Structure 1
Amino acid sequence: MTLSAQLGIIVGYLVLALLIGLSAYRLTDRTAADFYLASRTLGTVVLLSTTFATLLSAFTFFAGPNIAYHEGPEWILVMGLMDGIIFAILWYVIGYKQWLLGQQYDYVTLGEMLGDRFGSGLLRGLIAAVSLLWLFPYVMLQQVGAGTALETLTDGAIPYWAGAGLITAFMILYVVLAGMRGIAWTDTLQGAFMLVVTWVAMLWLLTAIGGPTSATAALETEAAAHVALGSDHYTPQWMLSRALVIGFGVAMFPQVNQRFFAAGSRTVLKRSFALWPILCVLLFVPSFMIGAWAHGLDVTVPADGNVLPIVLTEFTPGWFAALVIAGAMAAMMSSSDSMLLSGSSYFTRDLYRPLAEFSSRDVSERREDLLARVGVVVFATAAFLVSLVNPATLFELGDAAFSGFAQLALPVLAALYWRRTTRAGIGAGILLSQTFYLLSHFTTVVPGTYAGWTAGVVGMALGLGATVGVSLVTTPAAAERRALYFDGNETGAE
């Protein structure tokens, strides 16, 4: 298949996704609630699909199969089973409470919700700053994934920088124009499309190599440890650490957390989190098994390469490989556009607006809207430039983001369910856990593992301990509204 035909399939699919988003934009009200939350009207299919597609990132399609290729298919247990269950539980425990509060007080961001409860613009800004910090590597993850995928698919004819630049341009254009409603509509297409093509890709591969028995036998011959449960890599501590930081981190991702506010009713929420684990298994089993079986096949995967496009190029027609990569890139765009949209709301509502109000400046909707769109361009461009200079591995980028966001989860849980939590307590919990994890990730001052447990999990425990301990020895500030989360918030449409 010619290079122009492959590129035409990929660009054509991205354009189709863009057109769907633009169609939704025509129905968008020019309000913050509609731009960021689709006016809190999402139904079960759309809410589940947009949350699902938002998480269908380069970490899913490239980093996951890479881990299964190098270390074995147990990664399915982490991402497909444990994380599916952990996040479904958190969707109920955190998401349902947030939805109730959002219905009553019209919150748009996590920072607004916590800042209101604790009477602190500083806390609101801290949460926004931390969230923007960890969004950066996850946006980079999509750009690196797209760049390496296109480079592999075209045998280097399209260089890494061009692939990364293509998805950056599309994500900027999409976010600036579409808003949450457009993103949600497109995500519904993305989720259904990727479920279908990953299963077709796995079945196509198995047909080409003689079925699952032959594939597993070849894998056992090449790497017998890959067909046995457990290894030096997949220790119980490692697997539980990854499952915990990914599950709790996902719940704090701005693009996911804001969807807790967007459901049309509590029935929508309940159906969505009940179906979530099923969707995770349906997606991760085929994509990760392709990566695992590839280890027994006669394919060459460079140390820094991605196994999925290499296997597809080798065992499926060029048009199908291009279609899968197009869908994967569109899924990465779905992640990126949601991240940039949420990041813009955190920037304008939790950083710009409080600062403007503090300095007695007028906060016009028009100016805030302009800043949000400019912020999207600046943030995405900066991530693209850094990805050109230092393209870390996909797993490293994803792990940093998941673990960083996970540090927010337990202090937030304490605030939602423990009336005794104080402003000083939650502030101490967030600052201590974030500082600990940053030092462990970027320096050698703090070790990265503790008896097999990662620093991300240890940081979470430290954050919870600090939140509880400091809250017990401090008195609430005068501006705190201790009853806000506990009185009269069981209203809402069924």
Structure 2
Amino acid sequence: MTISIAIIFGWLIVTTVVGVLAGRNQAFSMENYFVGGRSFGTFLFYTTAAAEIYSAFAFLGLAGWAYSKGMSIVYAMAYGSIAYGLYFFIGPRINRLGSRLKYISQPDFIADRYESRWLGVFVAFIGVIFSIPYLQLQIMGAGMIVQLASGGAISWQIAVIISFIAAVIFVYVSGLRGIGWTNFLQAIIMLFGMVSIGFIFPHKFFGGTAKVWEILQEIKPNHLTLPDSAGLGIFWVASVSLICGLGFWMWPHIFTATYAAKSEKVVRRNATILPLYSLTMIPIMVVGFTCAAKAGIDPAFAGTITKPDHAMLIALVNNFPPLLAGFIGAGGLAASISTSSGLILTSSNLMARNVIQKGFKPEMEDMAVAKLGRALVPVLTVLAVLLAIFAPSMLVSLLLVGYSGVTQFFPAVFLGLFAKWPTKAGIVTGLLAGLATVVAIKFMGVPSPMGLHEGFVGLIVNFAVAAVVSSFTPKISPSTIDRFESTLR
């Protein structure tokens, strides 16, 4: 497995060097550090967005879900269509407001639109709560990918430490600009890895994909229908597709990335072409179904897979040359680190900018905020790595409702962009009601109607409460409404 290890860590060194060089000769400022100086063109913004969106889940989770559960994995394709269609309309407006009103983070917009710095603090705090476990997932995914791709030669803990030392270096030095240029490289190897294995796996085991479907139809027909082998039916798929589609751009790190585009045209163009990258998820799903078919007829193969998320990489290491395992492992590590780096930077941004400066030290200079944010990069990374190593299940409950949680920001963002009537009290109570609904269904045994996803139910409650409370509470001042209207014209 020496070849695999050399490829994986060779690629890690290359991307780290590129990330550090990206920040060379760039003036250090809050805007440069957190939003790349708002200078990303079409291609750099495209690869940055693609690499941040398609994380370790794209390499491990998609195949693992298709392997163990079946056809409900189609939700991953459905929600992308919703997300990119929505982005065509909201993305340019987010970019315009960020550029003209000098927003650095998602809570900047929400706090300004609803005239409440404490709402901004609350949104920032919730954003960090959901970003840390998401970061922990990426860290654990990175370690798992390297461990499996190396055939166990490197423990996942060692892999995590090495990988995230590299990530901290280029994020600390170069900020979003470093992330953008490393994501350019990461997107290339991710594209290669995700597309190639979708063809290689079914041909290796069955001579093509047709045989995969024939075998599954014979031995596990529920795997190819809805409800599938996990009992997940059409209402679940539809509601989770909608909640993920609407929540897609509500993740703080992806929302903030929109500020980095140098123009609205860049954002709109990417809303059109980014869906092409989502096609790379199809080959990964095919790999999962291929492993399910192989496991169904080969008990020895099935016995090697201890966890569904390990299916693709274990099959790869045991049945393919080390050279291929190295490249695919590098692609998986790239997917993990590209998303992780954005989460690290954005979490430090939210803490320094919105919790500390906006909440408790409004006199703090922007340069001091940038320096504090950079100082928090290694602190937050160490915290997430320690949680991943010593308490791997501690934050799973938060992670499971991650999308459900961040999607509750959607009414505040969408209504803030397109409507005049929502009030501060309406948005706050709606957000609290939506989050409470998610918690009640997910953790307190409250039944969800028709098997709908808890995040979807929470979103309906959120909108309803926001509308009702806004009808009888003080309106946002006309000066603020006029300022936003004139900025968006």
Counterparts in 2 of 1:262-277, with a 5 A limit? Answer: 262-277=260-275
Distance 2:383 2:478 in 1: 38
User: Residues 158 and 450 from structure 1, CA distance in 2 versus in 1: closer, same or farther, beyond 3 angstroms?
Assistant: farther
Q: Higher helix fraction: Structure 1 or Structure 2?
A: 2
**2:480 partner SS:** coil
Aligned to 1:49: 47
The residue aligned with 2:186 is 190
Distance 1:79 1:396 in 2: 21
Residue identity in the other structure for 2:34: Y
Which region of structure 1 is more displaced relative to structure 2, 134-143 or 208-217? 208-217
CA–CA distance in structure 2, aligned partners of residues 12 and 393 of structure 1: 33
Match of 2:410 in 1: 409
User: Residues 21-420 of structure 1 correspond to what in structure 2 (within 5 A)?
Assistant: 21-75=19-73, 77-80=74-77, 82-209=78-205, 210-228=207-225, 230-231=227-228, 233-281=231-279, 283-297=280-294, 298=298, 299-300=301-302, 301-303=305-307, 305-358=309-362, 362-392=363-393, 399-420=400-421
Is 1:13 the counterpart of 2:11 in the alignment?
yes
Q: Secondary structure of 1:26's partner? A: coil
Equivalent-residue separation in structure 1 for 2:227 and 2:188 (angstroms): 32
Counterpart Cα distance in 2 of 1:252 and 1:79: 17
Alignment-mate amino acid for residue 342 of structure 1: T
Q: 1:102 to 1:368 in 2, by over 3 A?
A: closer
SS at match of 2:361: helix
- What is the aligned length? 480
Corresponding residue of 1:472: 471
Q: For the residues of structure 2 that align with 1:385 and 1:405, how far apart are their CA atoms? A: 24
Q: TM-score w.r.t. structure 1 length?
A: 0.91
Query: Which residue is 1:489 aligned to?
Result: 488
Report the CA distance shift for 1:295/1:14 in structure 2 as closer, same or farther (over 3 A): same
Letter in 2 for 1:188: F
In the TM superposition, what is the alpha-carbon distance from 1:91 to its structure 2 partner? 1.1
Shift of 1:93: 2.9
Residue 12 of structure 1 deviates from its aligned partner by 1.0
TM-fit CA distance, 1:476: 2.2
Secondary structure of residue in 2 paired with 1:484:
helix
CA, structure 1 residues 176+423, in 2 after alignment: closer, same or farther (shift >3 Å)?
A: same
Q: CA deviation at 1:415?
A: 2.0
Given the superposition, is the C-alpha separation of residues 6 and 93 from structure 1 closer, same or farther in structure 2, using an over 3 Å criterion? same
1:460 aligned residue? 459
TM-score, normalised on structure 2? 0.92
Q: Is the 8 A contact 1:419 1:483 kept in 2?
A: no
Distance (whole Å) between structure 2 residues aligned to residue 145 and residue 394 of structure 1: 15
SS of the residue 2:126 aligns to: helix
Letter aligned with residue 464 of structure 2? G
CA displacement, residues 246-303 of structure 1 (integer Å, 9 cap, x when unaligned):
222221111110122222222212211111222212x110011101111111423213
Greater CA deviation, 371-380 or 60-69?
371-380
| Inter-partner Cα distance in structure 1 for 2:397 and 2:119 | 29
Does the 8 Å contact 2:71/2:225 carry over to 1? Answer: no
Q: Which runs of 5+ in 2 are unaligned?
A: none
- The Cα of 1:449 is off from its aligned counterpart by 3.1
Residue 393 to residue 236, structure 1, CA distance change in 2 (3 Å): farther
SS at match of 2:455: helix
Matched letter for residue 57 of structure 1: S
C-alpha distance in 2 between matches for 1:312 and 1:448: 40
